[in-house]
Structure formats: C-alpha cells, structure tokens
Structure 1
Amino acid sequence: MNQTRFPVMLFAAGFGTRMGDLTRSRPKPMIEVAGRPLIDHALDLAQAVEPPRIVANTHYLAPILANHLGPRGVLLSNEQPDILDTGGGLRQAWPLLGAETVFTMNTDAIWSGPNPLALLARAWEPERMDALLMCIPVAQTVGYTGQGDFSRDAQGKITRGAGLVYGGVQIVRMDGLADIPDHVFSLNRLWNRIGEAGRLFGLTYPGRWCDVGHPDGIAQAEEMLANV
C-alpha cells in the first residue's frame, strides 16, 4: 500500500466531435450531466484525494476552460498550435505536474461507487508497477457495447483483450515518455512499452461507470446516478 499523494492530470483538450452540436460553442468537458459540467465531476474526485496540484490540458475553445478552471486553482497546459493527444499532452504538462508518478484522468466519464483515484493509490506498488489502470468489467458499464480493452491475470497484470474496459483513470510513471520521438502520440505507445516489460497492471472497479463520449451518454449517466 502506498499513501503518496500524486498530482492529477485532467485530459480536457479534445474536440468532442461525437457530441455534434453540443460542442459547437463549448468544449466537451463543459457539457452538463446532472446539472454540473463533466469536468466538475472529475474535479470532485481529484480534489478528494488531496493532490499537491491538478493540471488540465486545453486546446479546443481553451479560454472557456481557462475561465472555469483558473479560479479553482487548476494549472493549465494549453496545447497550441496543435493538439498533442494523450501521450504528447501529458509530456508537455510534465513540468507543471512536477512529479515522476502521476494520476491521469479523462473528463468524459461518470463514476458511481468508490473514488477510483483513492482505490488506485491504495493498490499502487511502485516496485513492480509502472502503470496501474482502473478497469471496469463490461457488465458494470453503462451504455458501452464493446467487448473491452484488456484482460487481467491472477497477478493483476493486464494485456490487450476482452472483459475489462479502461475507465480513463490511472497511475503512471512519467519517465517512459522521455524517449518517445514523436511530438503527437497516444498513451497507448507508453502502455505497450510498459506491458512488454511486464509492469502494466489493472485494478478492477467495484462500482459502475458511464462513458459520456456521445449525446446519449448524458441521459445514461444521469439515470445511473439517480439509481445509486
């Protein structure tokens, strides 16, 4: 068990194209679920683990997010002129995060159950892990129709496969980002390297989870929260 408090990186730079007209004049993290912007649901979870700092990346309609997050003490990593994807965005934000190990968190999902960041922190074992991903059994997801992203063995190691959906929250060591040559790249590049070294792990979430990546996800998330 590790009680270290890690900085939190909130991914908030995307265009939200699957949301259609809902993101024509606002970034996706500002879409409301149950009367509050998506990013505020994420902030609640992040602030509850008392991180030393919270950083959000921005790109699309960045001033709107800056006006919303700045007064809340969130540091901003604005990606211009190009959006950098998750891996490139995390690497750019590294100086602001100021740590070798961090939480990362997508801002387009709603969680129903224990705080996923707190669960990850308690399960983190740095002597054998370089990344610990929060994964949800397919049966516990709301509105998800795929087979999953990962499979998990008895030791908790994960590999690409079916059964578990990556929920968008993890603890990850940053040092593997340093020698990836591309400027724009996905965190999948880092996970592949970590997995090859046998240090990619997953934790199974005990609650429910809803991806709000498309318009139908708003009502599905609100129904999930109403039925807690």
Structure 2
Amino acid sequence: MCRWTPSVAHLCPELALGTTSTTAYTGQPLTLPSAASVCLACFTLLLVTAGTATGACPPGVGHEPLQVLASGINCSWTLERHTRSYNHLEGDVRLRRLYSANKFFLCIDKTGKVDGTRRKNYADSLMEIRSVSVGVVAIKSVSTGLYLAMSKKGTLFGSKTYNPSCKFKERIEENGYNTYASLRWKHGGRQMFVSLNGRGKPRRGHKARRRHPSTHFLPMLPS
C-alpha cells in the first residue's frame, strides 16, 4: 500500500543502496531505518496530522491497535458526544395579537367566549403563545388567563385549565400568515382550524379549510 522508495531515494540516496552508511563528520557507521519503520513513522505522523486538522479521532481509534500509535490524541470528547437536542424550542413564549386575514383580532373574554374585535389595543386580544413541543403551541389570553381550546365538535372556547384540547399545530403558510389546527381533534380525518368569519365570529373547525382566509392569522407584536 505504501510505496516510499522513490521519495526516500530522492531525499537520501543511501537508502536505495542499503541499510547502513557512514557519517561525513565522524566516519562512524550510521544505521539507517528500514523501509518498514519509515512507513510506520510516516503513517503515524499522518494520523496525528489528520486528527489535529479535523478535531476528531482518526478512523479506528478507540479499541483498535492503532490507538497505540495515536496515544497522544485526546479522543474522549467524541465518545461522550450526544445526539443534538431540540428541547430549546419548548417553553418559548411570545406575546402577540392574532390578526386574521378578515381584519379581526382574536380575543377571549372572561366568560370564555371566543370572538373577534377590530379594536387594536383591546385587552382580551393580547395572547401568550407558548411552544409546548416542536410545532405545537398553547394560546392563552393575558387579561383573562383562559386558554384557547377546541371541542370535539370544532367549537372554540376559553378553558380555565390547560389540557390536550388546548394544543394547536402552528404552521406558517405560503402567504406569511399562520394557521392553527387542533392537535387533538379531527373531523372525518380532516384537520379542524381556528377560524373567524367575515363578521368576526368563530367558525366551527370542521367548516374551515387551510386555504380559507378565515383561518389565516398574523401574529402581531403588541404596541
């Protein structure tokens, strides 16, 4: 595998003639390294250089005999490295007003009624959107403390307690608006969406479709 003869002969012609020679200064015999030892030394240097350049262990280092050659390399960090975690996405909280494509702000009053309002700074429209898992959020009214929830029949209401009916899949659509579909409930295998009609009234989830403007919301920063 390693053909070192041309390069060695070029650098030191004596290697091409034999394994011993004499020094120019002392006249004493000089024992030259064998081709096998030169190959082994060069291979060791190659391993060390590769490990230093990449910041990783050379292939096979760990439980292979080559570990002896590269014993100066600290490879413990590669053995302790774990799979990347995305838990940092959970628990993220945003304060937003959900402004629908129908020009209404989603709100939840203290009685649990879900409605739409055109009042920009209406207290009940300020929502706390919390990521509970990747792509799934819980929406809570800051003023009333009620969670947006959807029933099995697709009706929107404000819940005093957080439960599986309060989880919604958040998706950014091609037009830049977000849609919110119930994570727990479906109707005939179809997703049911949070929706406000042209009068600002909530629509049943099974009557809404992802492409409908009534299901599209723009999370706006509170002013």
TM-score normalised by the chain length of structure 1: 0.23
Relative contact order, higher structure (CA 8 A, sep 6+): 1
* Structure with the larger helix share: 1
Q: Find the structure with the greater CA-based Rg.
A: 2
TM-score normalised by the chain length of structure 2: 0.23
